[in-house]
Chains A and B, each alone.
Chain A
Amino acid sequence: MSDSFTPVVAGSALGSKAAPAVTPKNIPNRGGPANPSAQAIAQQFAGAVVRADVIWGETIVVVDRARVHDIIQWLHDDPSQRYDYLSDVTAVEFRDLEQPIEVVWQLRSLPYRRFLRVKVLLEKGATLDVPSVWDIYKGADWLERECYDMFGITFTGHPDLRRLLMWEQYAEGYPLRKDFPLRGRFSRSEQLRQALAANPEARYSKEELSIADAFEDLPAEMKRRLATGERTGE
């Protein structure tokens, strides 16, 4: 644990005169009070916001693909925003051929008790790539890998973009895309043949393999401790 660790208290940035957190009632389908961060993004990044909606009380900001990384970085760092928790990275594809694929970042600001949904629209037919937010939130690692696995969206800047749920040699495509048949593209026997050809032990991540490779480079004292079975890092 680093020395700079400080616990985050939910709502601590709101001050002592903030209203207590209650479950909202009678939320309209459209409209209603928007998350102030939506306005702040529009001011800070002129022209980057495509549109901002409030649906069922949840604020959705659709932004420009080229600036989404800067926006999320700013939301994370700025003292007036402090979005310190990334709930989810996922994507939505619609059956409509004209409608673009949406990549969704679900953000949570613990100190301000705010939720914000940031979206980027990706036109079908063009290359599906968005910047990775792994350098801002380390937790985005597997979320982005899953999104890549299921939708085929490339997150540029991700350190280790591989399939997460399906095995790495999986050749049938991206299962959550609308053009993917439910039963898969290959016949059942071919699917089984390819699955059985996989080596169940070949599952180590690049990181684990690189740690094993790096064993020789460790200091002699640490090597001695590791060799006697001591676990480090906990």
Chain B
Amino acid sequence: MGLSPRPEPTFKELSGNEPWITTKLDQFVNWGRKNSLWPMPFGTACCAIEFMATAASDYDLARFGMERQAFSPRQADLLICAGRVPFKLAPVLRRIWQQMPQPKWCISMGACASSGGMFDNYAVVQGIDSIIPVDVYVPGCPPRPEGLLYGILMLQKKIEHERSGDKTLRQEMEPDPTTQLYIPPAVIDEVSEPFGNSVHQTRSGL
């Protein structure tokens, strides 16, 4: 007397007893990704104070799946650059971005990180997008926690619409080996032209 083979469950039995869904893989993966971002705060100035307020209990970043702050770039997929970046810090920020594994995104929080802000001077990078690629810019000086949350929701929306068929999405941007720049120097000079009050800044005639 041998063991009688277990009968294969029919499709009808399966569908009757166990829940299952059909979905697009992209949609499923993006849903997972957008709700489990691990942010790495790169706080250099007063924006970092607002970032801390966003992460604290009142505004509670954890509601959006960001329970875990990563203080190491190798365990992070979202870089939040909060505050001005001086030129001395530029190679550090570049290296931190290169240490983050794909998929990764970047939020430039506040006026200084996005454009240099009021620091149109010799020491401050005029927008971190000249060092690393940026997904979402959050304006404000500094932005309120609501502003940062809005930026994060915008990024989640962006992640939702990513397609795995798009091979350019996960490509690392390789800087030019001679100049170490992503964008042509002429473009950097053009976008960092003085504007607003900084056109009339006191220049030394000496």
- Whether the pair B185, A190 counts as a contact (CB closer than 8 A) is yes
Interface of A is mostly: loop
B203 lies within 8 A of A195 (CB)? no
Closest chain A CB from B171 CB (angstroms) = 20
On whether the beta carbons of A192 and B90 are closer than 8 Å, the reply is yes
A178 touches B188 (CB 8 A): no
Interface size class of B (residues with CB under 8 A): 20 to 34
Given contacts A175-B122, A183-B122, contact A191 B87 (CB under 8 A): yes
Instruction: Name the segment of B47-55, B56-64, B91-99, B150-158 touching the other chain.
Output: B91-99
- With beta carbons under 8 angstroms apart, the residue of B92, B122, B181 that contacts A189 is B181
B contacts with A: majority SS: loop
A97 x B206 contact (CB < 8 A)? yes
**What's the nearest-Cβ distance from chain A to residue B14, in Å?**
57
In the complex, per-residue mask of B174-206: 1 if CB is within 8 Å of any chain A CB, else 0: 010001110001101100101000000111101
What is the CB-to-nearest-CB distance from A82 to chain B, in angstroms, rounded to a whole number?
Answer: 39
Q: Does A74 interact with chain B (Cβ within 8 Å)?
A: no
Cβ contact within 8 Å between B88 and A167 = yes
Can you list 7 pairs linking A and B with CB atoms under 8 Å apart? A165-B88, A172-B122, A175-B123, A182-B201, A183-B121, A184-B122, A189-B189
Given that A166-B88, A181-B203 are contacting pairs, would A187 and B122 also be in contact in the complex, using a CB cutoff of 8 Å?
no
Does A179 lie at the interface of the complex (its beta carbon under 8 Å from any beta carbon of B)?
yes
Determine if A192 and B204 form an interchain contact, defined as CB atoms under 8 angstroms apart.
no
Which of the 9-residue segments A64-72, A139-147, A151-159, A196-204 touches chain B?
A196-204
CA distance A192 to B85 in the complex (A): 12
Set of chain A residues within 8 Å of B188, measured between Cβ atoms: 188-189, 192
* Contacting residues, chain B, for A193 (C-beta < 8 A): 179-181, 185
Q: Judge whether A195 and B87 touch: CB under 8 Å.
A: yes
Q: How far is the CB of B84 from chain A (nearest CB, A)?
A: 14
Q: Which residues B86-131 have CB closer than 8 A to chain A?
A: 87-88, 90-92, 94-95, 120-123, 125-126, 130-131
Q: Are B180 and A197 in contact (CB under 8 A)?
A: yes
Name which residue of chain B comes closest to A188, CB basis.
Answer: B192
Select from chain A the residue with minimum beta-carbon distance to B120: A183
Q: Give the complex CA separation of A50 and B126 in angstroms.
A: 46
Q: For the A-B complex with A182-B204, A188-B192 known, give 8 more contacts whose Cβ atoms are closer than 8 Å.
A: A165-B88, A180-B204, A182-B201, A182-B202, A188-B130, A191-B122, A196-B91, A199-B91
In the bound complex, residues from chain A placing their C-beta under 8 Å from that of B125 are 192, 195
The answer for the CA separation of A165 and B88 in the assembled complex, in Å, is: 9
Is A223 in contact with chain B by the CB < 8 A criterion? no
Closest to A173 in B: B122
Check A178/B204 contact, CB under 8 A, given A192-B188, A196-B131. yes
